[in-house]
C-alpha cells in the first residue's frame, strides 16, 4: 500500500480551492495539461479522482500461453480466475496448433461462465470476450435468483429422500453448478466495481455494499453444497426401508431449516436488523431437531446411520450459514449508519 501524501489546500480567487496532484499518479495515468478528470464524492466523505470521465467500462486482457504439456484442469481454473478477476478479454494461444482438448476446455469454460463467448478463433489462438453489460445484471437480482434455486434444491433433496427418487437426487446435485455460476458472476461484478468507480456509480452500489454481496453469495453457495450433499445421501438410502414418522420428522426439520434461510434473506433485502437478530435465535430449535434425527439414526445399520447423520448435519449447516447471513446484515447496517458528528481538532 502506498504511503499517504499530505498536501495543503490553496485558495484560488474568491471561492475556489485547489490542491496539486501527485506526479506519480499523473505519470501513471498519462494525464496532460488541460485534460479532464472526474471527481466523485464518496459516502464516507473522501474524494475520489479518476481519469476515466467517459463512463465507458474499462477493458482488461489476460493471455494464457499453452502447449501439449499444459495441465487442462489448471487451465480451466485459471480461466475461471481471470473471469472472476474482471478481465473482459481472455486469449488462449499456442506457438503451434492448439490441442483439441485445450479448445474443448475453453468452450467448457464459456459454458460454465455467464456472458463469455468465443469471438475469434484460429489454429493457434482463441479469443473470449465478455458480452455482458455489468449494469444489466444487478447484484441484488443475482442473489435473489441464487436464493430461489437453493430453496428448491433443498426442498427437492428432502423430497428425493421421502420418495426414494434417485433421478431427482441427481438433478439436485447437477443444479449445484448453476449456483456456482451465479456466485462467480457476483464475485466478478464486485471486482469490476472495485476497479472502476464509474461502474459503482452507474449501478448505484457502493464498494462496501458490493463486498457484502460477495460474502452473502459465498454463504448461499455453501448452502447449495449442503443441499447437494443431502441429495447424495438420499440417493444412497433409496433402497433402505424408512419409517414414515421418521421421514415426516426429517421433512419438517428441512422445512424449518429453509424457514431460517428465507428469514435471513428477508432480513438482508429489507436491511432489517431486528429481523436478523430474531432469525439467529431460531437456530437453537433447529439444532435440537437435527440432534434428534442423528439420535434416531442409530437404530439403523451402521452404513445407513452414517447417511442419516450426514443429512442431519447438512440441515444444521443450512441454519448455521443462514445465521451467518444475519450477522453480516447486522454488521453492514451498523457500519453504514451515520456516525455521531463531532469536531476533530
Q: How far apart are alpha carbons 190 and 205 in whole angstroms?
A: 10
pLDDT 10s digits, 98-122:
999 999 999 999 999 999 999 999 9
Residue 22: its pLDDT value, please? 80
pLDDT reading at 329 higher than 50: yes
Q: 342 lies in a domain?
A: no
Residue 8: its pLDDT value, please? 78
The answer to whether 190 touches 203, Cβ cutoff 8 Å, is: no
- Average pLDDT value for residue range 4-27: 76
Q: How far apart are alpha carbons 237 and 57 in whole angstroms?
A: 51
Are 196 and 127 found together in one domain? no
**How far is CA 104 from each of CA 81, 108, 177, rounded to the nearest angstrom?**
18, 6, 18
DSSP string for 305-323:
HHHHHHHHHHHHHHHHHHH
| The model scores a pTM over 0.85 | no
Q: What percent of the chain has pLDDT above 90?
A: 71
Are 140 and 277 found together in one domain? yes
Are 112 and 23 found together in one domain? no
- Average pLDDT value for residue range 207-236: 95
Q: What CATH number has the domain bearing residue 15?
A: 2.10.260
Q: How far apart are alpha carbons 74 and 109 in whole angstroms?
A: 12
pLDDT 10s digits, 156-200:
999 999 999 999 999 999 999 999 999 999 999 999 888 877 777
Are 295 and 173 found together in one domain? yes
Q: 341 lies in a domain?
A: no
Q: 344 lies in a domain?
A: no
Beta-ladder partners of 130: 116
Are 104 and 15 found together in one domain? no
Are 114 and 145 found together in one domain? no
HSE of 153 in the Cβ direction (CA atoms, 13 Å)?
Answer: 33
Q: What CATH number has the domain bearing residue 78?
A: 3.30.110.20
Residues 6+ positions from 251 with CB-CB distance below 8 Å: 158, 162
First CA to last CA across the chain, in angstroms? 27
Are 190 and 72 found together in one domain? no
Q: How far apart are alpha carbons 183 and 24 in whole angstroms?
A: 37
Task: Report how many helices (DSSP H) and strands (DSSP E) the chain contains, helices first.
Answer: 11, 8
- Average pLDDT value for residue range 225-240: 97
Are 215 and 317 found together in one domain? yes
DSSP letter (8 states) at residue 58: P
Give the rounded distance of the alpha carbon of 32 from its chain centre. 39
Q: How far apart are alpha carbons 76 and 38 in whole angstroms?
A: 38
Are 25 and 79 found together in one domain? no
pLDDT 10s digits, 55-76:
555 678 999 999 999 999 999 9
Among residues 77, 105, 132, which one ends one of the domains?
Answer: 132
Residue 97: its pLDDT value, please? 93
Q: 322: exposed, middle or buried (C-beta count within 10 Å: 0-12, 13-18, 19+)? A: buried
DSSP letter (8 states) at residue 82: H
Among residues 75, 99, 132, which one ends one of the domains?
Answer: 132
Say how many domains are in the chain: 3
Q: How far apart are alpha carbons 61 and 234 in whole angstroms?
A: 45
Q: 162 lies in a domain?
A: yes
Domain assignment of residue 117, given as a range: 61-132
Amino acid at each position: 500500500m502506498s504511503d499517504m501524501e499530505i498536501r495543503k489546500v490553496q485558495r484560488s480567487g474568491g471561492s475556489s480551492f485547489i490542491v496539486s496532484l501527485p506526479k506519480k499518479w499523473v505519470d501513471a495515468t498519462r494525464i496532460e495539461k488541460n485534460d479532464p478528470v472526474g471527481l466523485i464524492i464518496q459516502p464516507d466523505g473522501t474524494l475520489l479522482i479518476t481519469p476515466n470521465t467517459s463512463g465507458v467500462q474499462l477493458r482488461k486482457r489476460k493471455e494464457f500461453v499453452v502447449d501439449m504439456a499444459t495441465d487442462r484442469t489448471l487451465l480451466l481454473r485459471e480461466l475461471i480466475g481471470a473471469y472472476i478477476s474482471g478481465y473482459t478479454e481472455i486469449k488462449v494461444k499456442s506457438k503451434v496448433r492448439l490441442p483439441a482438448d485445450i479448445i474443448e476446455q475453453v468452450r467448457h469454460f464459456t459454458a460454465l461462465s455467464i456472458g463469455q463467448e468465443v469471438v475469434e478463433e484460429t489454429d493457434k489462438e482463441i479469443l473470449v470476450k465478455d458480452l455482458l453489460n455489468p449494469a444489466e445484471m444487478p447484484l441484488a437480482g443475482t442473489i435473489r435468483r441464487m436464493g430461489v434455486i437453493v430453496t428448491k434444491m433443498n426442498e427437492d433433496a428432502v423430497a428425493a429422500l421421502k420418495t426414494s427418487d434417485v433421478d431427482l437426487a441427481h438433478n439436485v446435485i447437477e443444479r449445484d453448478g448453476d449456483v456456482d455460476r451465479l456466485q462467480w458472476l457476483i464475485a466478478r461484478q464486485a471486482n469490476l466495481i472495485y476497479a472502476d468507480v464509474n461502474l459503482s456509480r452507474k449501478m448505484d452500489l457502493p464498494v462496501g455494499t458490493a463486498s457484502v454481496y460477495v460474502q452473502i453469495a459465498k454463504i448461499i453457495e455453501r448452502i447449495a453444497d449442503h443441499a447437494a450433499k443431502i441429495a447424495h445421501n438420499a440417493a444412497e438410502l433409496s433402497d433402505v426401508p424408512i419409517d414414515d414418522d421418521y421421514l415426516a420428522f426429517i421433512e419438517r426439520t428441512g422445512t424449518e431449516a429453509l424457514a431460517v434461510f428465507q428469514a435471513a434473506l428477508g432480513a438482508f433485502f429489507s436491511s432489517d436488523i431486528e429481523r436478523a437478530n430474531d432469525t439467529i435465535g431460531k437456530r437453537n430449535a433447529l439444532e435440537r431437531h437435527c440432534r434428534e434425527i442423528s439420535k434416531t439414526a442409530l437404530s439403523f445399520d451402521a452404513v445407513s446411520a452414517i447417511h442419516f447423520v450426514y443429512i442431519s448435519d447438512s440441515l444444521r449447516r443450512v441454519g448455521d450459514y443462514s445465521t451467518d447471513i444475519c450477522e453480516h446484515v447486522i454488521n453492514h447496517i451498523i457500519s453504514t449508519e451515520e456516525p455521531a458528528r463531532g469536531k476533530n481538532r
